[in-house]
Structure 1
Amino acid sequence: MKIQQGFAAQFVVQDPPLGTGHAVLKALPALGDFAGSVLIMYGDVPLIKEETLKKLIRVHQKQKAALSFATARLDHAPPYGRIFRNEQGEVLKIIEAKDILKEQSHINEFNVGLYLIEASFLKKTLKKLSSANKQHEYYLTDLVELAARAKQKIATLDINDELEWQGINNQLDLARVEKRILQDRCQHW
């Protein structure tokens, strides 16, 4: 995406790191009185495409959602949160990989760490997060369950390209992402 002239960035330090929800909570004061949609994405996912961001924005706006996020359906189980839906297909919550129960391990829809959340919902709900989980962290993903319980509209966007949302958690992940970047550069040279 092209950054508009006059764009200003503000950095917020999360110390100590207490989870993704805590990171956003630390950044919340930077929003001030902003009242629009807030894009949140994990910092270790460098291949997200501009078109994917635009699709997420369109889905969010079309469905008038309080919270939208990207998912992927896979045959294998990456170490990411799984999307728990009811029989009608409505999202109920995201269960983090370390908190998944054996009987939930069949779920093949995963969270890819790309969110669009209305600032009003984010400001009101973020403070309700709890660290009562196996990692003792504040999960941003718990906002999904809080939205579902509050009967807020939740929208999802399926991303088919697994490398697009590949997180970099080790040297092998880094090598995969670097290979993809080089391939893309060669194709568009």
Structure 2
Amino acid sequence: MVPFFTVVKLSVIILAAGEGTRMRSSLPKVLHPLCGRPLLGHILAAADALAPVASVVVLARETVERVRAQFGEKYLYVVQAERLGTGHAALQARPVLRDRCDEVLVLLGDAPLVRPETLQAVVALRRARGALVALLSFIADPPAGYGRVVRDAAGQVTAIVEERDATEEQRAIREVNSGAMCFDAAWMWQALDRVQRSPVKGEYYLTDLIALAIEDGGVGAVAALPATDPTEAWGVNDRAQLAQVERVLQTRLLDALMRSGVTILDPAATYVDVGVVVGQDTTLLPGTMLRGATRVGAQCTIGPHTLLVDTTVADGARIRYTLAEGAVIAANADIGPFTHLQT
């Protein structure tokens, strides 16, 4: 166990070098918009909440400059010149992180729904157990395509078995690996050199570190935290999955607004971006879309069928059947129907 007075320096590695061919797009997968923010931006925001000493994004050569242009120099960017698997991808971050941290949190760049508090719980679990590795698992139904989390009778993790290598008994296990893993940094850097190339695909898998951790530290060297919300582990491989993830995130955003005192007449017909602010006792009618940096005051009525983009609305305004882009709307204003406002 890490003493409470010890400052443990955390770094984050985000694996984002996948080709993204199933998106059928000239835009890199991690830059596709999701509720007003690039997909990768959601993972970076979750990582930022943990106050890491550094966050490194591992990218393909052809995408690194576009991603850097989007997110700036707050983050570090490294290139995986050859796509040789997740273990090889994590290894590319070693030169810039090796002497900077005590533990490393590895995240997938296409899994944008994970919450900061869940990541913090994974980090806390590793520290509390003194484990070499802690991972986020989830219950999948069906579990096809995922590595199974194998536990012994005492509940200790004994292996992560990829589906292609699983026995029939192991294939029936529904607890699977999400891909989010926290490592003891010193152990991880040396263990990555011991990962063997897969004879099937010729790649180096980060999950092979699980077996090495158990080999080095015995049972108890690996801990797994089952996610209470399986959607936190959902990934995006194509546009259909992007739409599914967007629905989940929209539900979260709208639920948060309603709990804060906003009335939403039909959540299924209402859309808000991340970062939109809506005041107490405001009502959003069906067909309302609030995009970008929009801020709506208290006791307003917005909609129906109204799109506000980067617009500021003061208290008490009524806006219906309106498109407003970059507008500033005064208190108690009555706008619409069929109005277009621009700066």
* TM-score, normalised with respect to structure 2: 0.51
Give the 3-state SS of the residue equivalent to 1:11 in structure 2: strand
Counterpart of 2:137 in structure 1: which amino acid?
T
In the TM superposition, 1:106-145 aligns within 5 A as 106-145=172-211
Tell me the equivalent position of 2:165.
Answer: 99
The answer to whether 1:34 aligns with 2:100 is yes
TM-superposed CA distance for 1:138, in Å, is: 0.5
Structure 2 unpaired stretches of 5+: 1-45, 55-73, 258-343
- Tell me how far apart the structure 2 counterparts of residues 32 and 131 of structure 1 sit (CA, whole Å): 22
How far off is 1:78 after superposition? 3.6
**Post-superposition offset of 1:51:** 0.9
Alignment of 1:53-64 (within 5 A): 53-64=119-130
Higher-Rg member (1/2): 2
Q: Does 1:188 align with 2:256?
A: yes
Distance 2:144 2:237 in 1: 12
Distance in 1 between residues matched to 2:174 and 2:190, nearest whole Å: 31
CA 106–36 in structure 1, closer or farther in 2 if over 3 Å, else same: same
The answer to whether the aligner puts 1:169 opposite 2:221 as a matched pair is no
What secondary structure sits across from 1:188 in the alignment?
A: helix
| Corresponding position: 1:76 with 2:152 | no
Deviation digits for residues 99-155 of structure 1 (CA, Å, limit 9, x no counterpart)? 334443112210001111011111110110111343221110000000001125211
Could you tell me which of 83, 90, 97 is aligned with 1:24? 90
CA contact (8 A) 2:132 2:217 kept: no
Q: CA RMSD in A?
A: 2.0
Q: State the alpha-carbon separation in 2 of the partners of residues 34 and 72 from structure 1.
A: 30
The structure where strand makes up a greater share of residues is 2
For structure 1, the residue ranges without an aligned partner over 5 or more in a row are: none
Q: Which has the higher helix share?
A: 1
TM-score scaled to structure 1, two decimals?
0.89
Distance across 2 between alignment mates of 1:97 and 1:19: 16
Residue in structure 1 matched with residue 222 of structure 2 by the alignment? 154
Contact residue 98 and residue 189 of structure 2 kept, 8 A: no
Structure 2 residue 152 is the aligned partner of structure 1 residue 86 = yes
Equivalent pair of 1:99/1:133 in contact (CA under 8 Å): no
Deviation string for 1:47-66 (max 9, x for gaps)?
10011011112211111111
Q: Give the whole-Å Cα distance in 1 for the aligned partners of 2:209 and 2:124.
A: 21
Deviation of the 1:98 alpha carbon = 3.4
Over 3 Å counting, the alpha-carbon distance change for 1:125 and 1:114 in structure 2 is same
Residues 33, 12 of structure 1: CA spacing in aligned structure 2 closer, same or farther, 3 A cutoff?
same
- Tell me the amino acid that sits aligned with residue 244 of structure 2: R
Q: What is the rounded CA distance, in whole Å, between the counterparts of 1:92 and 1:136 in structure 2?
A: 25
Q: Cα deviation per residue 1:65-111 (whole Å; 9 max; x = unaligned)?
A: 11111111234124211112334433222122333344431122100
| CA 1:97–1:170: 2 relative to 1, 3 Å | farther
Q: Which amino acid aligns with 1:165?
A: A
Q: Once the 2 structures are TM-superposed, how far is the Cα of residue 173 of structure 1 from its aligned partner?
A: 1.4
Higher relative contact order (CA 8 A, sep 6+): 1
